Structures are given as structure tokens and as C-alpha cells.
């Protein structure tokens, strides 16, 4: 697929999977808008990596759960590059605790970022993505794993899956695909923080491929959905090496 002139917004693009998605789409020739909330240095580093690959790129700070900030993110993309073709909604947070002991303030924070944030970004994407474009959300394989301690996070990502499936059908006639990627355990700081080597080894042994996923694994799938995967629409794709 010819990606010349195509523009992608990647929220959560300064770290983890989002950072690798920026690099992968830059290699494909997209112009990139890196959305971030806190770490300007990491966001600027992602921009520099994209530019080193020959892509145009800018970083825009904003909270995905703030509708005005999200609108400003899309405004920046349109003003700098003329429009938006792909939106990758990779921003998210995770707090782990058993349901009985989880602080409800933490639940509210997670729902605000993971659910309200996905909704606000998708709302602007639904209004602005050009024909032939793609909206790619991030759910999680944890919606199927049913691991103790993940009830709140899994619930937030199940909501993202529901939003994705419905939005795909609401955009009938627009020639815009809407899908969600649902990674399994992936070697990012979000996943690795707080886990001992024994826990990580146990999770790595679960899929038939017998390893933890990498951000590169997930970015390849995103690149497919963003470009050549035009006949994949209204789906949640579980990228976990066959663990479920």
C-alpha cells in the first residue's frame, strides 16, 4: 500500500508499544503526530527516531481524557500535515489489585484514561479520519485470561473492545476501518514493573511460542491494520502467541 502523504496520530507514543508503533509507521513513510501526557524528553526522542527514518514528525502534549486536549491534538495534525488518515490509540494505564482491596480512586483513574480516553480519541477520529483511513484501539488479552488482580484493568479494556466493535458499524459508508489489538504479555515497562523473574518466566511459558511478546510484534500488526489490512474491520485481534 502506498503510504506517501498519509498521516498517523499515535497516542501514548512516547513509550512502550506506542513508541514502537511510531517507529514502525515512520519506516512505512507516514507523517507522525506523537501524543503524550508527561514525558516530553521521551516524546521528543520518539520524534527524532521517526525523523531519522525519513519521516516528518511532531510531538503534542495532552491528556486523552480531556476532550479539548484531544481536539487540539487533531487540530495540530491537520494544521501541520493537512489531515489524519490513521489513529492509533495506545495511551493507557494499569493498576493491579484484587477486586476486594482495589482503591476505588485508582479504579476511577484507570477508567478515565482507558475508557474515557479511548472514547474521546475515537470521537475525534470518527469525525476527522479521511476516507481510506483506519482507527486502531488497544484492548488486552487479559479480557480472556481472567487473571486474579486484573479485574479493573480487564474491565476497562473490555469496554474498549465494545467501543471498537460498535464504532466500526457506526462508520458504515465512510471507508474507515476500526479494529482493536489485544496484546498478551509484552515486554514493556507497563508489564514488567513489579513482576519477579519467576512470574515472567511462567507467563512466557504459556503460549505455544514460549516467549513474552515484544513491542515489535505488536507494531507489525498495527502497521498491517493501518495499511494493507483493509478487509479486516470491526475485529478484536488477540496478539499473544497463541496463549488463548
The domain that holds 13 is classified in CATH as 3.40.50.720
**For residue 244, what pLDDT is reported?**
79
Give the range of the structural domain holding residue 40, as residue numbers without chain letter: 7-183+216-239
- Range name among 123-132, 200-209, 220-229 with the lowest pLDDT average: 200-209
Neighbour tally for 19: CB within 10 Å:
25
Write down the catalytic residue from 30, 150, 153, 238. 153
Q: Reply yes or no on whether the pLDDT at 192 is more than 90.
A: no
User: Residue 59 phi/psi, 5° resolution?
Assistant: -115, 140
Q: Is 42 exposed, middle or buried (0-12, 13-18, 19+ CB in 10 A)?
A: middle
Q: Reply yes or no on whether the pLDDT at 218 is more than 70.
A: yes
Average pLDDT over residues 169-192: 93
Please report whether residue 203 resides in a domain. Answer: no
- For residue 227, name the pLDDT band (cuts at 50, 70, 90): very high
**For residue 60, what pLDDT is reported?**
98
Query: What does the pLDDT look like over 62-81, one tens digit per residue?
Result: 999 999 999 999 999 999 99
Please report whether residue 18 resides in a domain. Answer: yes
CA separation, residue 119 to residues 64, 85, 110, 145 (Å): 9, 18, 13, 24
Please report whether residue 70 resides in a domain. Answer: yes
Total tally of structural domains belonging to the chain:
1
- For residue 21, name the pLDDT band (cuts at 50, 70, 90): very high
Query: What does the pLDDT look like over 95-154, one tens digit per residue?
Result: 999 999 999 999 999 999 999 999 999 999 999 999 999 999 999 999 999 899 999 999
Cell of 192: 514488567
**For residue 3, what pLDDT is reported?**
75
Q: Reply yes or no on whether the pLDDT at 191 is more than 90.
A: no
Cell of 193: 514493573
Query: What does the pLDDT look like over 163-177, one tens digit per residue?
Result: 999 999 999 999 999
Please report whether residue 202 resides in a domain. Answer: no
Average pLDDT over residues 42-64: 98
Q: Is 238 a catalytic residue?
A: no
Average pLDDT, the chain: 96
**For residue 193, what pLDDT is reported?**
79
Q: Under a CB-based contact definition with an 8 Å cutoff, are residues 228 and 2 in contact?
A: no
Q: Reply yes or no on whether the pLDDT at 30 is more than 90.
A: yes
Nearest-angstrom CA–CA distance, 23 and 26: 5
**For residue 1, what pLDDT is reported?**
67
Amino acid at each position: 500500500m502506498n503510504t506517501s502523504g498519509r498521516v498517523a496520530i499515535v497516542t501514548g507514543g512516547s513509550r512502550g508499544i506506542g513508541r514502537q508503533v511510531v517507529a514502525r509507521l515512520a519506516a512505512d513513510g507516514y507523517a507522525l503526530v506523537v501524543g503524550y501526557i508527561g514525558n516530553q524528553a521521551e516524546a521528543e526522542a520518539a520524534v527524532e527516531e521517526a525523523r531519522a527514518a525519513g519521516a516528518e514528525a511532531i510531538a503534542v502534549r495532552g491528556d486523552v481524557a480531556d476532550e479539548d486536549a484531544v481536539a487540539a491534538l487533531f487540530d495540530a495534525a491537520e494544521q501541520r500535515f493537512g489531515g489524519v488518515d490513521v489513529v492509533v490509540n495506545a495511551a493507557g494505564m494499569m493498576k493491579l489489585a484484587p477486586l476486594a482491596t482495589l482503591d476505588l480512586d485508582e479504579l476511577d483513574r484507570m477508567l478515565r484514561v482507558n475508557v474515557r480516553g479511548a472514547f474521546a480519541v475515537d470521537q475525534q477520529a470518527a469525525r476527522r479520519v479521511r476516507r481510506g483511513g483506519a482507527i486502531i484501539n488497544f484492548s488486552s488479552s487479559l479480557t480472556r485470561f481472567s487473571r486474579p488482580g486484573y479485574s479493573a484493568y480487564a474491565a476497562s479494556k473490555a469496554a474498549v473492545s465494545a467501543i471498537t466493535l460498535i464504532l466500526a458499524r457506526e462508520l458504515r459508508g465512510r471507508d474507515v476501518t476500526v479494529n482493536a489489538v489485544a496484546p498478551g504479555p509484552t515486554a514493556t515497562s507497563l508489564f514488567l514493573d513489579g513482576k519477579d523473574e519467576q512470574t515472567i518466566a511462567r507467563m512466557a511459558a504459556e503460549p505455544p511460542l514460549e516467549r513474552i511478546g515484544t513491542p515489535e510484534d505488536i507494531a507489525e500488526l498495527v502497521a498491517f491494520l493501518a495499511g494493507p489490512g483493509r478487509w479486516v474491520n470491526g475485529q478484536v485481534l488477540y496478539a499473544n502467541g497463541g496463549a488463548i
